[in-house]
Amino acid sequence: MAGRLAVAAVFAGVDSSFCVLVHPVVKLENFAKTYHTGEVEVHAVKGVSLEIQPGEFLAIMGASGSGKSTMMNSIGCLDRPTSGMYLLDGVNVGALGRDALADLRNEKIGFVFQGFNLLSRTSAVENIELPLLYSRQGITRRTQRERAENALALVGLGERGDHHPNQLSGGQQQRVAIARALVNHPKLLLADEPTGNLDTMTSIEIMGIFQDLNRRGMTIVMVTHELDIARYCLRMVVMRDGRVVRDEPVNDRLAAIDELQKLKQEQQAVQLTS
Amino acid sequence: MNLFATFRIAVRALRRNTLRTLLTMLGIIIGVGAVIAMVSIGNGAKAQMEARVASLGQNVIQVFSGMSSRGGFRGGFGSSGTLTREDYESLRREVSGVNGASPEVRSFAQLAYGNQNINSQVLGVGADYVDIRSWPLAGGANFTENDVRNANKVALIGKTTAETLFGDSDPVGQIIRVKSAPFTVVGLLGAKGTSMMGSDQDDVLLVPYTSAMRRLSGDNTFRSIMVQAAERDSLADVQQQITELLRQRHRILDGRDDDFIVRTQQEIADFATDSAKIMTYLLGAVASVSLIVGGIGIMNIMLVSVTERTREIGLRMAVGARGRDILWQFLIEAVTLSLVGGIIGILLGMGGAELVSKNLGWSTLVSPESIMTAFFFSAAIGVFFGFYPARKAAQLDPIDALRYE
């Protein structure tokens, strides 16, 4: 029951924006990013226009060097566009300074990384609290702890709050990282190759959590180079040489629950035959 | 992000690598400990000097017979006898605002009682002497003006001398031989301790200066005269009066140097404590060098720490830490290192000072000022040497930091 309430709390923000439905979560217009490495100019992203509506589950795909990582960093407000415009939830990111970008990330974005990036020798709950420590809203210690525990329950690890990362499996660590991304009630969940370090079974489990969150209204953008993983999303954007070459809904969409079922049956079959 | 939360993060980071934290602190611990111990040794020496000067008596002015500068050769204080008995008597008559005055005639003589004998300092003094020096009697009575006038063979005996000659029995009323002249002991002096120069002031026999001059030394001039001003405020005035009187009596023309020296107790004290002060500064300065070395150690380990934790910094920035939050985190970490080191160092330094005074018998003094100074200085070292690494961390680009291997 407590878990159900927590879920409601986490998505309260998203629900209200559904009702108004005035602006997309992400709006890129002719977005470009150029890096200067020594004498050479690298045009990582060359004029991309893209809109992501609330409730979407988008996969950005592409080979290495296609510009998908740069896109990811820019959407995550870790960087500002060289030219063009980026509106995150109606806020013009290009006009903001370093500190304002940090605040924006804190309020509106949750990050999930390939390498989990959990603080070692720090319990799961304390890892999840991390974004709240930097919140400008003056959240009390008690509320921080409650929200962290609720977020942990949401990813199905409610009992392991005091475990340290080295006591958790890879999949569990990624769940903690997802809980950390959710704890500040973000508008957008950004996942950078979230299954890159995980085996097939665990990957599907993690995708199941994302599908679950998306079904409850969370907007998710995920970068991946694996088509198998992208098929769990709703929409797929393929990049090549800094441009979007394909942008289409996922037709043959996979459901994590079914895939997990299939995988388990296969494994049982293998065990029986051997 | 509030300061307390930042502090907790810093402490956790430090506890994550206990050995390294302790080793880094060691520099500051040794530095602060050395400063505290050294300064307290210096301060102890200074306090001891001051106590010895104070043992001279209250508001005392000393007149030394002149510096002889005949033929370009300068002797020390009292090296030529220019102070006569007449000088002393007119000084007592004519200088106002004076409580008492006494000349001092110094000689060494063999003292004998029964089958005991001892070489001791015999001081020829006036009847005021023990009052001027606030030297209480432990038994018997002071000799009188009459004894002085008549050059009676009476004596006050110092504690050490009495113990040597008489052991536990009472010396008052006994007759001792001073260079074969019999002197009656009329009083036993209380303990006075060590002098400024480190000699035992209780190894002494006080006799009327008239007796000393006639029967012991054969001098007819004084080495010095001690004058006690009635009030602290009149010290300078009395000093002035004495100078004028003696210049007049010695017929010293304007523009010529005095053939005597008038020093107030304060001047003597300043002279004595100056050397102790210089020692304190010197010891402090040497110890400060190790403190700075400790600071460099902190800077070094903070730089390593920033590099090691680049990904953590990137993550913190990604989830919303501003540059300032990161700066504070590392700065507080550095200050915590140096402050905890400083506190341990203060305790260790105090222990060291205690050990020195116990084992070597030196007097030491740990002043609250030196503790406060050491405390704030170690905090300042943390800020100073922690700032550069902290700023380096704060200026990291979050994307590069997250990607750092």
State the nearest Cα–Cα gap between B397 and chain A, in angstroms.
9
pLDDT at A161 over 70: yes
- Strand-pair partners of B124: B105, B207
Tell me, rounded to whole angstroms, the distance of Cα B131 from its chain centroid. 25
Q: What share of chain B is helix, strand, coil (3-state, %, to 5)?
A: 55, 20, 25
Q: By C-alpha distance, which of A90, A54, A63, A78 is closest to A234?
A: A54
Sequential DSSP letters for B193-220: -B-TTS-BTTSEEEEEHHHIIIIII---
| DSSP H helices in A223-255 | 227-230
Band of pLDDT at residue A2, cut at 50, 70 and 90: very low
CB contact under 8 A, B5 and A133: yes
Residues A145-168, buried b or exposed e (16+ Cβ, 10 A)? bebbbbbbbbbbbbebbebbbeeb
- Assign A6 a pLDDT band (cuts: 50, 70, 90): very low
Q: What is the DSSP string of B17-85?
A: THHHHHHHHHHHHHHHHHHHHHHHHHHHHHHHHHHHHHTT-SSEEEEEEPPP-GGG----TT-S--EEH
Tell whether A42 is within 8 A of chain B (Cβ): no
Percent of chain A with pLDDT over 70: 92
Q: With bands split at pLDDT 50, 70 and 90, how would you rate the model's confidence at A4?
A: very low
Nearest CA in chain A to B397: A78
Write the residue in A76, A98, A122 that is nearest to B323 by C-beta.
Answer: A98
Among B16, B311, B318, whose Cβ lies nearest the Cβ of A105? B318
CB distance A121–B16 less than 8 Å?
yes
Residue A108 has a pLDDT of 95
Contact assignment for B320 to A98 by CB distance below 8 Å: no
Nearest to B141 by CA among B130, B152, B153: B130
Can you give the pLDDT at residue B12? 85
Chain B residues touching A106 at Cβ < 8 A: 319-320
> Using CA atoms, how far apart are residues A173 and A152, in angstroms rounded to an integer?
11
Question: B399 and A78: CB-CB below 8 Å?
Answer: yes
Contacts of B325 in chain A (CB under 8 A): 134
Select from B311, B320, B322 the Cβ nearest to the Cβ of A117. Answer: B311
Nearest residue, CB atoms, B320 vs list A119, A122, A135: A135
Asked if B13 and B330 touch (Cβ cutoff 8 Å), the reply is no
Q: Which of B9, B12, B319 has the CB atom closest to A111's CB atom? A: B319
Chain-centre distance for alpha carbon B387: 39
Contacts of A177 in chain B (CB under 8 A): none
Compute the nearest-CA separation of A30 from chain B (Å). 22
Predicted pLDDT of residue B196: 60
pLDDT on residue B303: 95
Reported pTM: 0.72
With a cut of 70, list the residues of chain B below it in pLDDT: 1, 67-80, 195-198
* Annotated domain spans of chain A: 2-273
Of the candidates B5, B324, B399, the beta carbon closest to that of A73 is on B399
Between chains, do A131 and B320 touch, taking CB under 8 Å as contact? yes
Residue pairs between chains A and B whose CB atoms are closer than 8 Å: 59
Q: Can you read off the two tokens belonging to residue B235?
A: 């010290």
The predicted pLDDT at position B197 comes to 62
- State the pLDDT at residue A194: 93
Mean pLDDT of the region A32-46: 87
Q: Which pair of structure tokens corresponds to residue A258?
A: 């079914």
pLDDT digits (tens, 9 = 90+) for B43-91: 888 887 777 777 777 788 888 887 544 444 444 554 557 788 888 888 8
Mean pLDDT computed over A36-57: 90
Mean model confidence pLDDT for chain A: 88
Mutate to test the interface with B, among A96, A133, A141 (most CBs of B within 10 A): A133
What residue ranges in A89-136 does DSSP mark as E strands?
Answer: 91-92, 109-112
pLDDT of A244 higher than 90: yes
DSSP string of B225-266, one letter each residue: EEEEESSGGGHHHHHHHHHHHHHHHTTPPTTSPPSEEEEEHH
From A204's Cα to the closest Cα of chain B, the distance in A is 25
* Chain B CA closest to residue A104: B320
pLDDT tens for B276-298 read 778 778 877 887 888 888 899 99
Q: Residues 93..122 of A with a Cβ closer than 8 Å to B: which? A: 98-99, 102-103, 105-107, 111, 113, 117, 119-122
Instruction: Report d(CA B96, CA B367) in Å as an integer.
Output: 41
B307/B128 Cα distance (integer angstroms): 77
Test A130 with B315 for CB contact under 8 angstroms.
yes
Most A CBs within 10 A among B319, B326, B332, B403, hence the mutation to make, goes to B319
Per-residue model confidence (pLDDT) at position A12: 46
Answer for the pair A79, B292: CB distance below 8 angstroms, yes or no. no
Shortest CA distance from B396: residue in chain A: A98
pLDDT in tens, A87-115: 999 999 999 999 999 999 999 999 999 98
pLDDT at B300: 94
pLDDT at B1: 58
Chain B environment of A117 (Cβ under 8 Å) = 311, 314-315, 402
In CATH, the number for domain A2-273 is 3.40.50.300
Between CA A5 and CA A12 the distance in angstroms is: 10
Least confident window among A15-19, A257-261, B229-233: A15-19
Instruction: Report the run of H or E that residue B184 belongs to, with start and end.
Output: strand B181-189
Say if CB B378 and CB B291 are below 8 A apart. yes
Q: What's the N-to-C CA distance of chain A in angstroms?
A: 43
CA B152 to centroid of chain Cα atoms? 40
Which stretches of chain B sit within 8 Å of chain A by CB? 1, 5, 9, 12, 16, 311-312, 314-325, 398-399, 402
With beta carbons under 8 A apart, name residues in chain A contacting B12. Answer: 121-122
Residue among B102, B304, B308 nearest B222 (CA)? B102
Could you give the ipTM of this predicted complex? 0.88
- Average pLDDT, integer, range A256-268: 90
pLDDT of residue B82: 78
Q: Which residue has the higher pLDDT, A57 or B179?
A: A57
